[in-house]
């Protein structure tokens, strides 16, 4: 049995507790409650929270009071996120070990390892962004509650990559350090780090229009590009292997992550739009253009490295075309007036299915345990 006071200790066998002891403990706690009545939580001097007064940022309402909701959709996001509950231990990885050792070509191993290498660092960065730079600036608790779940999910994603690395038997130090020594991976992380660092201060005054503009662009980058494009399309090379019956356990893990990321992107985009509306903010089109351009250049360099040799059914051209197509979709969701990449067409018509496949279609084919899941939800 796990000792919850000391979770790292060896499991101990506990004696069953005598019913009389339980009864005594309960009667003691009842007596204590009687002698120490609940404090009067209703302070007559405070006005009740009015939902209309809430704001995404710069609000003055009580941050500790969840309802009444001004943003009920944020609460719905939280409830739906809890329907995609899973852990990496739920997925059988046995066949992946054999595939990696016996079936993958050197080019496919290069793709697999470098995608994992990028993802490990990316999800830590995503966790720090939402937990340390974004969440603290929100002034409505229903937004923070979903973001708290998001922080957990980013940690879960990191666990998932670590689980894959351990199971396949890859050299951890080498995989985790790769982003430091491979410039094409590093520059993508560096770009995101720069966006994160500029808003990673608790003393930012979001009543200052320049600071506000910078914060909104940063959150937009993380939701629409980092999560909405780079993650959404970043798993595709592994899905291409999955479609050929290879590395199916890893791919299934990534499908769960992709569901989370689709929600993160949708939530972030919605919050960004809400801020723009509430703060009556006009975004500088030049800065938005620069954001798309630098994201594309970073993706191009990364893609040309991981897919320097195409693998069967997947190439750098495919990957980049899909990036542009998804970027247009995110711009559209943001309500931006122009497509960043006019005329881009879907190069991977099967990609959306990876996020939307339903349980009845045997999506969870290798799953060991059953949870209630959000299989009937649309995740995009």
Contacts with Fe ion by CB under 5 A lie at 123, 126, 154, 157, 227, 261, 264
Helix (H, G, I), strand (E, B) or coil at 367: strand
Residue 31 CB, nearest approach to Fe ion (Å): 48
CB 354 within 8 A of CB 331: no
Which two three-digit tokens encode residue 317?
């051209």
Nearer to Fe ion, 240 or 262 (CB): 262
Nearer to Fe ion among residue 126 and residue 206 (C-beta)? 126
Number of residues written out for the chain: 380
**Of the two residues 99 and 123, which places its CB atom closer to Fe ion in the complex?**
123
Residue 224 CB, shortest distance to Fe ion, in Å, is 12
What is the rounded radius of gyration, in angstroms, for the C-alpha atoms of the chain?
Answer: 24
Give the Cα separation of 243 and 290 in Å (integer): 35
Alpha carbon dihedral 129, 201, 143, 280, in 10-degree steps, equals -110
**57 vs 257, beta carbon nearer Fe ion:** 257
Q: CB neighbours of 164 closer than 8 A, spacing ≥ 6?
A: 88, 93, 96, 116, 250, 253
Least Å distance, CB 269 to Fe ion, is 12
Distance of closest approach, residue 355 Cβ to Fe ion, in angstroms: 13
Closest separation in Å from C-beta 227 to Fe ion: 5
**Identity of the residue, 146 or 325, whose beta carbon is nearer to Fe ion in the bound complex:** 146
Nearest in space to 143 (alpha carbons), one of 262, 39, 238, 54: 54
């Amino acid at each position: 049995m796990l000792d919850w006071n000391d979770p790292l200790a060896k499991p101990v066998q506990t004696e069953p507790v005598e019913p009389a002891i339980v009864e005594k403990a309960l009667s003691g706690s009842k007596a204590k409650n009687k002698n120490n009545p609940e404090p009067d939580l209703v302070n007559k001097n405070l006005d009740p929270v009015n939902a209309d007064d809430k704001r995404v940022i710069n609000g003055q309402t009580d941050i500790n009071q969840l309802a009444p909701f001004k943003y009920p959709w944020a609460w719905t996001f939280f409830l739906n996120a809890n329907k995609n509950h899973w852990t990496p231990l739920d997925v059988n990885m046995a066949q992946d070990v054999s595939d990696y050792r016996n079936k993958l070509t050197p080019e496919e191993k290069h793709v697999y390892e470098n995608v994992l290498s990028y993802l490990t660092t990316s999800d830590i960065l995503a966790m720090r962004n939402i937990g340390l730079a974004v969440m603290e600036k929100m002034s409505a608790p229903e937004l923070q509650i979903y973001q708290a779940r998001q922080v957990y999910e980013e940690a879960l994603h990191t666990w998932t990559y670590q689980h894959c690395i351990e199971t396949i038997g890859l050299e951890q130090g080498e995989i985790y350090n790769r982003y430091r020594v491979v410039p094409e991976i590093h520059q993508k992380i560096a770009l995101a780090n720069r966006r994160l660092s500029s808003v990673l201060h608790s003393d930012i005054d979001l009543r200052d229009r320049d600071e506000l503009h910078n914060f909104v662009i940063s959150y937009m980058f993380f939701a629409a590009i980092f999560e909405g494009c780079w993650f959404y399309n970043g798993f595709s090379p592994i899905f291409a292997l999955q479609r050929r019956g290879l590395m199916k356990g890893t791919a299934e893990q990534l499908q769960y992550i992709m569901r989370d990321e689709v929600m993160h992107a949708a939530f972030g985009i919605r919050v960004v739009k809400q801020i723009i509306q509430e703060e009556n903010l006009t975004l500088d089109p030049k800065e938005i253009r620069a954001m798309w351009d630098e994201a594309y250049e970073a993706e191009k360099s990364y893609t040309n490295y991981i897919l320097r040799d195409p693998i069967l059914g997947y190439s750098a051209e495919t990957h980049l075309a899909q990036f542009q197509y998804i970027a247009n979709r995110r711009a559209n969701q943001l309500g931006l007036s122009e497509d960043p990449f006019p005329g881009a067409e879907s190069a991977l018509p099967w990609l959306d299915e990876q996020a939307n496949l339903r349980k009845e279609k045997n999506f969870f084919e290798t799953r060991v345990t059953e949870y209630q899941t959000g299989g009937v939800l649309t995740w995009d």
